[in-house]
Amino acid sequence: MKVLFYTKEFPPYVYGGAGVVVEYLAAELAKIMEIDVRCFGDQNENSDNLTVKGFSYDNPVFDQTNDKLKAVFNSLTTCIQMNADDVDADIVHCHTWYAQFAGIVAKLSYGVPLVITTHSLEPLRPWKREQLGRGYDTSSWVEKTAIEMADAIIAVSKETKEDVLKYFDVDKDKIKVIYNGINLEEYVVTQETSTLDRYGIDQLKPFVLFVGRITRQKGIIHLVNAIKYIDPETQIILCAGAPDTPEIAKEMEDSVKEVKKDRDNVIWIDEMLPKKEVIQLYSHADVFCCPSIYEPFGIINVEAMACETAVVASAVGGIKEVVVDGETGILISLDQQDSAPFEPIDPEKFSKDLAEGVNKLINNKELRDAMAKKGRKRVEDTFDWSAIAKQHKELYKSLKQ
């Protein structure tokens, strides 16, 4: 069996959770079948069962195009290019709306069964209009068209399955819940501290860690607003880069600058670090905090748990299926607006509750350590890529028959 992946992100160009998932899923599936990856970039790899080819994303014809629309137009033209080479795969599998137009074209032009993984859903991310302008209407149309014409839809959590049924006209029997996974050999506790040393993190004092992109979805501003309520001796490490827009980058900069007026132990690492360095941060953090306001799965929580770090996270989406409240971490209730953009009704209360959860774990080493061990065990039992890859293979086989 041969499966063709269409994706925007693939190493070395990975900046979000979906890209991480595609990277590891492709590697794991390549152990048991032939995988062809077509992505945005200049990649060119051919090893064993894995072939990777990048396609140019920056088309000079759009140099004078409105910046917000440029990303959409470039994506659509790249998706056409990715279909220029003959498609001889048994299944086409698309990841994120950026690459879904390629899947639409492949199904129509080559007659290949189409699988869509719903890493996120555009109707639940209205803040994307800040980034894409009217292009958000295009991305929403692409996603809706791809999902509703797909032969199978993979929901990364049970709640995401419910969201698909709510917002799209699809047969529930076409949707299969398959969690994301993690490389259990790579994401393990390390004693290495070079990254901590480089950024001036005091290893004699506790620290709470955030890892993620600077976007409304990740709720990082709510964590920054929570800092004033976190115990003064606790360091705050914000490993946050790749802002969606200049506006949210400026908001983040101003918010961090404000909290730094009252405490000198807030460290902002304004870039997306390599995995080995992030694993160091996970391994030495006392608490990992995930304040997302929308999260279909939340791979970062799995990464933290794999590195034996207790988690404080918002009780939204797939996070509720990843973090076991009171056992592997603390879930913070998020009383959200009933309609988009789903921000908390009382942002100040949400920030205070985040801080309360962090403080509870920082001040209770016994509880923290117990959660760390249970978190690792849960990851081993539930989120092993090898088992998850086999679930994908079974789904592919069902479509080929």
pLDDT tens digits, one per residue of 186-196 = 999 999 999 99
pLDDT (0 to 100) of residue 272: 86
pLDDT (0 to 100) of residue 350: 96
**Residue 221 in this model has a pLDDT that exceeds 90:** yes
Average pLDDT over the chain, rounded to an integer? 95
Strands (E), 113-243: 114-118, 152-155, 175-177, 207-213, 235-241
**Residue 139 in this model has a pLDDT that exceeds 80:** yes
Tell me the mean pLDDT in the region 357-362: 98
Tell me the mean pLDDT in the region 51-74: 94
Task: Answer whether 289's CB lies under 8 Å from 354's CB.
Answer: yes
Q: What percent of the chain has pLDDT over 90?
A: 89
Number of residues in the chain: 401
Kindly indicate the confidence band of residue 401, based on its pLDDT and cuts at 50, 70 and 90. low
155-169, 264-278, 330-344, 362-376, range with the lowest pLDDT: 330-344
Q: Which residue's structure tokens are 């039992």?
A: 381
- Count other C-beta atoms under 10 Å from residue 353's C-beta: 23
Q: Which stretches of 170-323 are DSSP H helices? A: 194-198, 220-226, 246-259, 275-284, 299-306, 319-322
Kindly indicate the confidence band of residue 360, based on its pLDDT and cuts at 50, 70 and 90. very high
Q: Which fold has domain 2-181+384-400?
A: Rossmann fold (3.40.50)
Q: Per the omega criterion (within 30 degrees of 0), is the bond before 344 cis?
A: no
282-320 pLDDT tens trace? 999 999 999 999 999 999 999 999 999 999 999 999 999
- Rg, the chain, Cα only: 21
Kindly indicate the confidence band of residue 374, based on its pLDDT and cuts at 50, 70 and 90. very high
**Residue 42 in this model has a pLDDT that exceeds 80:** yes
pLDDT (0 to 100) of residue 347: 92
**Residue 242 in this model has a pLDDT that exceeds 90:** no
Distance CA(193)–CA(277), nearest Å, equals 9
Q: Which residues, listed in sequence order, are joined to residue 34 by a DSSP beta bridge?
A: 2
Q: CA end-to-end span of the chain, whole Å?
A: 11
Pairing of strands 50-55, 44-47: antiparallel
What residue type is 158 in one-letter code?
Answer: K
pLDDT (0 to 100) of residue 339: 66
Kindly indicate the confidence band of residue 233, based on its pLDDT and cuts at 50, 70 and 90. very high
pLDDT (0 to 100) of residue 244: 85
**Residue 340 in this model has a pLDDT that exceeds 70:** no
Nearest of 75, 98, 79 to residue 87 by alpha carbon: 79
Half-sphere exposure (Cβ direction) of 54: Cα atoms closer than 13 Å: 16
pTM for this predicted structure = 0.92
Distance CA(148)–CA(59), nearest Å, equals 29
Tell me the mean pLDDT in the region 31-36: 97
**Residue 108 in this model has a pLDDT that exceeds 80:** yes
207-216 pLDDT tens trace? 999 999 999 8
Two domains, one topology: 2-181+384-400 and 194-382: yes
Kindly indicate the confidence band of residue 343, based on its pLDDT and cuts at 50, 70 and 90. confident
Task: Answer whether 235's CB lies under 8 Å from 303's CB.
Answer: no
Distance CA(65)–CA(47), nearest Å, equals 38
Task: Answer whether 334's CB lies under 8 Å from 316's CB.
Answer: yes
Tell me the mean pLDDT in the region 180-191: 96
CB neighbour list of residue 212: distance below 8 Å, 6 or more residues apart: 218, 220, 239, 240, 290, 300
Q: Where are the domains of the chain?
A: 2-181+384-400, 194-382
**Residue 75 in this model has a pLDDT that exceeds 90:** yes
Distance CA(268)–CA(13), nearest Å, equals 22
Nearest of 278, 319, 304 to residue 372 by alpha carbon: 304
150-169 pLDDT tens trace? 999 999 999 999 999 999 99
Task: Answer whether 139's CB lies under 8 Å from 128's CB.
Answer: yes
Tell me the mean pLDDT in the region 238-248: 90
Superfamily of domain 194-382: Glycogen Phosphorylase B; (3.40.50.2000)
Q: What percent of the chain has pLDDT over 70?
A: 99
pLDDT (0 to 100) of residue 17: 87
pLDDT (0 to 100) of residue 62: 95
Nearest of 170, 261, 256, 165 to residue 214 by alpha carbon: 256
116-126 pLDDT tens trace? 999 999 999 98
What residue type is 129 in one-letter code?
Answer: R
Q: Is 275 left (phi over 0), alpha (psi -120 to 50) or beta?
A: alpha
